[in-house]
Structure 1
Amino acid sequence: MPNIPENIELEPDDYDRPSKSQVKRDMLELQELGKQLVELSTDRLKQLPLSETLYEAIRMAQRTTSREGRRRQIHYVGKLMRHTDADAIRTQLDIWENGSREQTRAMHRLEALRDLLLKDDQALTGLLDAYPGADVQHLRTLIRASRKEAQNNAALQPGQDPQRKHYRALFQAIKALNDSTEQE
């Protein structure tokens, strides 16, 4: 160990900036995000908050067929990503990939309501109270057809595909009711 004079105080360096390693990790994350953007469709790209330069660079990478040229273009996209709001882009990509949790919960509620309608006749009364403008006859027809479809599916031999036409139609009818009240 080197001899350090005792009158010199050693204090940790107070860096105001990230380390070189952290900067490199951040750049690689942005480059990876750029790769994800290159894989998106043009319609999805237009929905993101991208600068014109970045958008054109991504489109160029999508059109590039040579492996090395594409790699270089993706590096360039990663470099341009430093000047954008990467968090907003990541958030939107996450919503597209996983769907919003609220939408998922809403779909599960509608599925549970459909299953309740198929099991319990009183559930239709509750549904009509919640949605007074609903077409009662159409809903009853769909429920009846779905129940008959379920009975036929229960009698199928192993390996035969069950029918789900009326089951899905009932879900779509409930979803349409829900959507119409949300828009009002």
Structure 2
Amino acid sequence: MTPFKQEDALLQNIDDNDEEIIYVSKSEIKRDAEALKKLGVELTQLSKNELAKIPLDEDMIYAIELAQKIKKEGYRRQIQYIGKLLRNRNIEPISQALDKLKNRHNQQNALFHKLEQLRDDLIESGNAEPIMALYPLADRQQLRQLARTAKKERDDNKPPKSARQIFQYLKTLTENE
């Protein structure tokens, strides 16, 4: 083989390899790194109990706990370090576990809004039937008495003590189900 043919063969081989290389722009790399840092920030905002529910190794847990203790510039650098650690890991299980935690929080908020609406309807109308339909074990007499007291407190511009008691009672009913 002549030197020119060897060079042509090498160039042909390089051209074949170029097709396999996937070009990633610098901007895309930066966006990915920024997304990992945001994930790191979300992880640092979790409590110890919530962190225990997320599949993390010892290094990540240590880095996150350290970031929770640090303030200002050191915190920013620690978040960058957490992002760097996340680049070398499969983040899919981590983000799924984080989404489950967020969803449970959203479900709890939705339940509280529902209970607040039930309480407000009870105070306005004095009708305990919708609550009795949802929670058959509820004490109708206690609900009506609390509703009357709450309405009187609201009309007299007093603190809503009875309204809070209704909410707590409804909350205990949902927990007992």
Counterpart amino acid of 2:163? Y
Map of 2:121 onto structure 1: 116
Q: Gaps (5+ residues) in structure 2? A: 1-17
* Inter-partner Cα distance in structure 2 for 1:118 and 1:52: 52
Map of 2:41 onto structure 1: 35
Structure with the larger helix share = 2
* CA shift for structure 1 position 81: 1.0
Within the candidate set 130, 137, 142, 1:133 is matched to 137
Given that 2:50 and 2:101 are in contact with CA atoms closer than 8 Å, whether structure 1 keeps it comes out as no
Counterpart amino acid of 1:28? E
TM-score w.r.t. length of structure 2: 0.68
Counterpart amino acid of 1:87? S
C-alpha spacing 1:43/1:133, structure 2 compared with 1 (3 Å):
closer
1:88 maps onto 2:96 in alignment: yes
* Inter-partner Cα distance in structure 1 for 2:76 and 2:114: 45
Where do residues 8-157 of structure 1 align in structure 2 (5 Å cutoff)? 17=22, 19-21=24-26, 22-64=28-70, 67=73, 70-82=75-87, 83-85=89-91, 86-88=94-96, 91-92=99-100, 94-95=102-103, 99-100=105-106, 102-121=107-126, 123-153=127-157
Map of 1:165 onto structure 2: 161
Q: Gaps (5+ residues) in structure 1? A: 1-12, 154-161
- Quick one: percent identity of the two aligned structures? 35
Q: What is the CA deviation profile of residues 60-96 of structure 1, one whole-angstrom value per residue up to 9, with x for unaligned ones?
A: 334456845x544333211111204253255257448
Cα RMSD after superposing both structures: 3.0
Given that 1:143 and 1:170 are in contact with CA atoms closer than 8 Å, whether structure 2 keeps it comes out as yes
TM-score w.r.t. length of structure 1: 0.66
Aligned length in residues = 156
Relative to structure 2, which stretch is displaced further, 23-32 or 126-135? 126-135
Tell me the SS of whatever aligns to 1:17.
coil
